[in-house]
């Protein structure tokens, strides 16, 4: 379904204010090429010293479970895979682009990034624990799944404030209020922006349907993974408030994954969540890796 004309005009403004860094655009172009090689991707990444340093930091971090020291982009590509490194570059670029935008006193940016980073890391760890290979796309999809909220924060400030206040007052999902006020949701806005930036279809689809994985006609396992880990991340953020563990058995994402991957039926999700909550603060760890 197309976005309302007013929202499309807002996205036109965004293209001139928050453009995707050149390196991310170039990586996307090289990845689409039929004769892509690790050497070509490495050459693109190494043009940007800052991105190169961040890639090596991430490749050497416990997050990726590397053994030994990763000293070159080419080595990181061998260990992590072509697609995974490319996705990390894109995620870093988006993170740095939107992290530098003007603050909004009505939007808790720290909480937003904490949730985004938490979703990304939970998705990565859960894929590994469940032995589901999503080629690393779960990480970047988790990190930017709520990108539309940043867009609303920056370019629809008053309306975004009104939506959040109404959602809190009525204790309902903000997406319902977004639809009422804007004729679309943050998920659709984020997906539309990434489509304009020629992002991979799997990532665009995940942003669009991460609240309703059953509606995704393609890449449903990735969409379902982010739907599930989005809920787990919300619990992780508020665990000190004595919230109950999320009921994964009634989560639509889990149900779709379980139907496709029957071997996960006996997985101890509660133990996984409790173990994750006891680990190092993921917000600090990943933010430090991505920081300039």
The predicted-structure confidence for 143-173, as pLDDT tens digits, reads as follows 889 989 988 887 887 888 899 899 889 888 8
Same domain, 255 and 116: yes
End residue of a domain, out of 100, 120, 148: 100
Q: What is the pTM of this model?
A: 0.82
Same domain, 210 and 109: yes
Domain range enclosing 150: 1-18+103-292
Same domain, 12 and 41: no
Residue 106 is predicted with a pLDDT of: 75
Same domain, 72 and 126: no
Same domain, 10 and 23: no
Residue 264 is predicted with a pLDDT of: 97
Residue 292 is predicted with a pLDDT of: 47
Residue 121 is predicted with a pLDDT of: 85
Asked if 137 and 203 count as a contact pair (C-beta separation under 8 A), the reply is yes
Stretches where the chain sits below pLDDT 50 are: 283-284, 292
End residue of a domain, out of 72, 100, 128: 100
Same domain, 92 and 170: no
Residue 6 is predicted with a pLDDT of: 79
Same domain, 66 and 145: no
Report which of 205, 180, 182 is spatially closest to residue 192, judged by C-alpha positions. 205
Q: What is the CATH number of the domain that holds 155?
A: 1.10.3210.10
Q: In the 3-class helix/strand/coil scheme, how is the chain assigned residue by residue?
A: CCCCHHHHHHHHHHHHHCCCCHHHHHHHHHHHCCCCCHHHHHHHHCCCHHHHHHHHHHHCCHHHCCCCCCCCHHHHHHHHCHHHHHHHHHHHHHHHHHHCCCCCCCCCHHHHHHHHHHHHHHHHHHHHHHCCCCCCHHHHHHHHCCHHHHHHHHHCHHHHHHHHHHHHHHCCCHHHHHHHHHCCCHHHHHHHHHHHCCCCHHHHHHHHHCCCHHHCCCCHHHHHHHHHHHHHHHHHHCHHHCCCCCCHHHCHHHHHHHHHCHHHCCCCHHHHHHHHHCCCCHHHHHHHHHCC
C-alpha to C-alpha distance for 96 and 21, rounded to whole angstroms:
9
Report which of 59, 75, 83 is spatially closest to residue 137, judged by C-alpha positions. 83
Same domain, 138 and 96: no
End residue of a domain, out of 71, 100, 129: 100
pLDDT tens digits for range 275-284: 888 775 554 4
If you search the block for the tokens 């009422």, which residue do you land on? 180
Same domain, 83 and 141: no
- Per the structure, how many domains does the chain have? 2
Same domain, 192 and 264: yes
Same domain, 129 and 49: no
Residue 14 is predicted with a pLDDT of: 66
Same domain, 281 and 165: yes
Residue 136 is predicted with a pLDDT of: 79
The encoded tokens of residue 76 equal 């990181």
């Amino acid at each position: 379904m197309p976005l309302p004309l007013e929202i499309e005009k807002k996205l036109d403004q965004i293209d001139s204010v928050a453009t995707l860094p050149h390196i991310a655009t170039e990586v996307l172009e090289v990845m689409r090429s039929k004769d892509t090689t690790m050497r070509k991707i490495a050459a693109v990444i190494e043009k940007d010293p800052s991105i190169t340093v961040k890639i090596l930091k991430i490749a050497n971090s416990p997050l990726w479970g590397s053994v030994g020291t990763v000293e070159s982009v080419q080595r990181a590509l061998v260990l992590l895979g072509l697609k995974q490194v490319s996705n990390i570059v894109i995620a870093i670029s988006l993170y740095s682009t939107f992290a530098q935008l003007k603050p909004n006193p009505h939007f808790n940016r720290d909480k937003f990034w904490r949730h985004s980073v938490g979703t990304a890391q939970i998705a990565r760890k859960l894929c590994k624990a469940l032995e589901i290979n999503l080629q690393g796309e779960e990480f970047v999809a988790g990190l930017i799944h709520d990108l539309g909220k940043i867009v609303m924060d920056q370019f629809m400030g008053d309306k975004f404030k009104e939506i959040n206040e109404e959602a809190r007052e009525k204790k309902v999902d903000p997406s319902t209020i977004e639809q009422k006020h804007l004729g679309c949701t943050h998920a659709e806005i984020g997906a539309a922006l990434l489509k304009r930036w020629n992002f991979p279809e799997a990532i665009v689809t995940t942003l669009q349907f991460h609240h309703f994985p059953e509606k995704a006609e393609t890449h449903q396992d990735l969409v379902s993974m982010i739907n599930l880990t989005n809920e787990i991340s919300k619990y992780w953020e508020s665990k000190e408030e004595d919230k109950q563990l999320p009921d994964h058995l009634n989560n639509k994402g889990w149900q779709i994954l379980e139907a496709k991957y029957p071997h996960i039926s006996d997985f101890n999700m509660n133990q996984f969540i409790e173990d994750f909550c006891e680990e190092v603060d993921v917000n600090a760890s990943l933010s430090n890796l991505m920081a300039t």
